A and B are shown apart, each in its own frame.
Chain A
């Protein structure tokens, strides 16, 4: 936080006068909504490490918002050195506009996702509606809160988790999955534009019986807003959410920040970075760190996007483009 002030003054000067700041290195990390707490800690730790190793002080500026909106801003000229978004499709979109290499996802280990999460249910204390698994969400009278998958990257994982669950049931096929998901979204009273908005709606406004959320978001909400008010329910089968990270080549090269930007992302894979991720309720990739936080993350049966759906481009075309399956659900309601 202390680095904010000089950075602000320097940056304000930069913006007004178009002069580059003297020695401090500034990185812009354009991220999605629920990573605020995570990157607040990562940034402090990384800056300290970089200062110790190289002597330069690094200031990392953050921009948070819905994943798709953030990708759009980068395409429109928000000069992010690194992007840390909710799903690969959004970074693909940036790559499509030539700002980074198309094979960006191969440049870092584990699909360029240093941490993962999964989709769980947040219910009110005592689980009054007795929600245990996906089919319970479509029981009569149950209200489900989840954001709009067309505007929220996080919500696309929710949608796909539900679809994948239905698909993988005995005798499951696309038609049955479609019927299940259509019914599920019929139980949604508020379709917020972003994941944070949905959490607010459920937690603060008291709307709905169950919130479909990322595990990290559910754990954080419970932590921040009262352990005695909410419980987390892990469904029998869910999706492995892999939020990816990438250096935006064009911007990093223009700013001359590639080395720092790459080190910043590598730091996420380091033991210290993994530890911070775990503390912020993201599942670490590192087995050692994961073992230490095993109590926090219950075992789950998960499937990945690649296993069930191919890749994100296919997912986008099949489900979320205008006129695709999600829109058809809406039209049928």
Chain B
């Protein structure tokens, strides 16, 4: 790449500039990304492998893992259905207010997580709009699993839609129109043409959505109630252990989340590498 232009007499040798730039970028990446990541694992294994394993096998940790998975298993599919529906409407049709709808879909990305939790307390808390009614009917939302799920859905709502909208826009609708003309029903067209076309983008969106769903802290913290073993997700368990002087335990759970993050990045990179052409690079979404 670099050899095409001989260095000019008044400039630094081109290679040196390249090397300098590469080095600077790598130093930044090491300081800001690699080092924090390494810290998590170093601290988790500070006292060796067996305390690490023991602290992950505690019932609180296991229940936090189970709850985190449960929340993600509910929240992610719901956002997938929404994402596909929103992308279909936005990429295939023109209607007034489309730009506004797009902005609203993006909104959860820039709402402070604390606010995302707060709004559900204002709605469903005992002092909130629906609080008294819910209480009278024995339905618990805040400080229970439904509240955690709702806050997580809010936070992760845009991921799938943001991934699919530009992808479907760039793919165009010719194939789908052809399928219709040839007599396919709406669902046949969707499952045989649309879905296969967007599957990798969809997977990509699901991946990012899932990573955020399992890792959300601020919003979940506001609606959780912090009942140990019951409404405590993994990130909350990390904070709780940290506050109990159980640093190995805190970093042990944190390391599981970090592993999840690494796994997410791994699959994501694989997808991009393998199916890069089929993925729209939608900036800003994630």
Instruction: Verify whether A and B have any Cβ pair under 8 Å.
Output: yes
**Interface-lining segment among B34-42, B107-115, B124-132, B273-281:** B124-132
Query: Does B121 make an interface contact (CB < 8 A)?
Result: yes
| A16 and B225 alpha carbons, distance in the complex (Å) | 17
| A224 and B242 alpha carbons, distance in the complex (Å) | 13
Q: Is A16 within 8 A of B143, CB to CB? A: no
Q: Is A76 within 8 A of B126, CB to CB? A: yes
User: Given that A5-B59, A15-B145, A16-B145 are contacting pairs, would A61 and B243 also be in contact in the complex, using a CB cutoff of 8 Å?
Assistant: no
Query: Does A142 make an interface contact (CB < 8 A)?
Result: no
Query: Does A317 make an interface contact (CB < 8 A)?
Result: no
Residues of A within 8 A of B243 (CB): 33, 64, 194, 196-197, 200
Q: Is A64 within 8 A of B145, CB to CB? A: no
Within 8 A of A (CB), among B203-237: 225-230
**Interface-lining segment among B15-23, B93-101, B134-142, B184-192:** B134-142
| A64 and B126 alpha carbons, distance in the complex (Å) | 20
- Decide if the interface of chain A is mainly helix, strand, loop or mixed: helix
* Shortest distance between the CB of A316 and any CB in chain B (Å): 19
* Shortest distance between the CB of B267 and any CB in chain A (Å): 29
Query: Does A65 make an interface contact (CB < 8 A)?
Result: yes
Q: Is A79 within 8 A of B59, CB to CB? A: no
Residues of A within 8 A of B245 (CB): 199-200, 203-204, 221, 224-225
Query: Does B60 make an interface contact (CB < 8 A)?
Result: yes
Query: Does A73 make an interface contact (CB < 8 A)?
Result: yes
Interface string of A12-41 (1 = CB under 8 A from B): 100110100000000010000100100000
A-B interface contact total, Cβ < 8 Å? 86
Within 8 A of A (CB), among B239-273: 240, 242-245, 247
Q: Is B229 within 8 A of A73, CB to CB? A: no
Query: Does A97 make an interface contact (CB < 8 A)?
Result: yes
* Shortest distance between the CB of B8 and any CB in chain A (Å): 52
| A152 and B260 alpha carbons, distance in the complex (Å) | 34
Contact among A61, A204, A221, A225 with B230 in the assembled complex (CB-CB below 8 Å) = A61
Within 8 A of B (CB), among A56-79: 61-65, 73, 75-79
Query: Does A1 make an interface contact (CB < 8 A)?
Result: yes
Interface string of B126-166 (1 = CB under 8 A from A): 11100100010011101111100000000000000000000
Q: Is A64 within 8 A of B240, CB to CB? A: yes
| A77 and B231 alpha carbons, distance in the complex (Å) | 14
| A15 and B149 alpha carbons, distance in the complex (Å) | 12
Q: Is B59 within 8 A of A63, CB to CB? A: no
User: Given that A200-B242, A200-B245 are contacting pairs, would A78 and B228 also be in contact in the complex, using a CB cutoff of 8 Å?
Assistant: no
Query: Does A8 make an interface contact (CB < 8 A)?
Result: yes
Q: Which range contains the number of A residues in contact with the other chain?
A: 35 or more
Within 8 A of B (CB), among A164-203: 194, 196-197, 199-200, 203
> What number of B residues sit within 8 Å (CB to CB) of A?
33
User: Given that A77-B131, A79-B140, A79-B143 are contacting pairs, would A4 and B126 also be in contact in the complex, using a CB cutoff of 8 Å?
Assistant: no
Contact among B143, B144, B228, B230 with A64 in the assembled complex (CB-CB below 8 Å) = B228
Query: Does A240 make an interface contact (CB < 8 A)?
Result: no
* Shortest distance between the CB of A292 and any CB in chain B (Å): 27
Residues of A within 8 A of B68 (CB): none
Residues of B within 8 A of A196 (CB): 243-244
| A324 and B128 alpha carbons, distance in the complex (Å) | 28
- Give the nearest-CB partner of A40 in chain B: B228
Q: Is B230 within 8 A of A8, CB to CB? A: yes
Query: Does A305 make an interface contact (CB < 8 A)?
Result: no
* Shortest distance between the CB of A311 and any CB in chain B (Å): 25
Query: Does B55 make an interface contact (CB < 8 A)?
Result: no
Residues of A within 8 A of B70 (CB): 12
Residues of B within 8 A of A12 (CB): 70, 145, 230
Residues of A within 8 A of B230 (CB): 8, 11-12, 15, 61
* Shortest distance between the CB of B20 and any CB in chain A (Å): 36
Residues of B within 8 A of A221 (CB): 245
| A199 and B229 alpha carbons, distance in the complex (Å) | 25
Q: Is B125 within 8 A of A76, CB to CB? A: yes
Residues of B within 8 A of A101 (CB): none
Query: Does A138 make an interface contact (CB < 8 A)?
Result: no
Query: Does A7 make an interface contact (CB < 8 A)?
Result: yes
Query: Does B79 make an interface contact (CB < 8 A)?
Result: no
| A15 and B229 alpha carbons, distance in the complex (Å) | 13
Contact among B58, B124, B244 with A36 in the assembled complex (CB-CB below 8 Å) = B244
Residues of B within 8 A of A61 (CB): 227-230
- Give the nearest-CB partner of A37 in chain B: B244
| A57 and B70 alpha carbons, distance in the complex (Å) | 27
Excluding A8-B63, A12-B145, 12 further A-B contacts by CB distance (< 8 Å) are A1-B59, A4-B229, A15-B140, A15-B144, A33-B243, A36-B244, A63-B225, A64-B240, A73-B143, A75-B127, A76-B143, A79-B140
Q: List 6 A-B contacts (CB under 8 A).
A: A7-B229, A12-B70, A73-B143, A75-B126, A78-B142, A79-B140
| Residues of A near any B CB (own CB < 8 A) | 1, 4-5, 7-8, 11-12, 15-16, 18, 28, 33, 36, 61-65, 73, 75-79, 97, 194, 196-197, 199-200, 203-204, 221, 224-225
| Residues of B near any A CB (own CB < 8 A) | 58-60, 63, 70, 121, 124-128, 131, 135, 138-140, 142-146, 225-230, 240, 242-245, 247
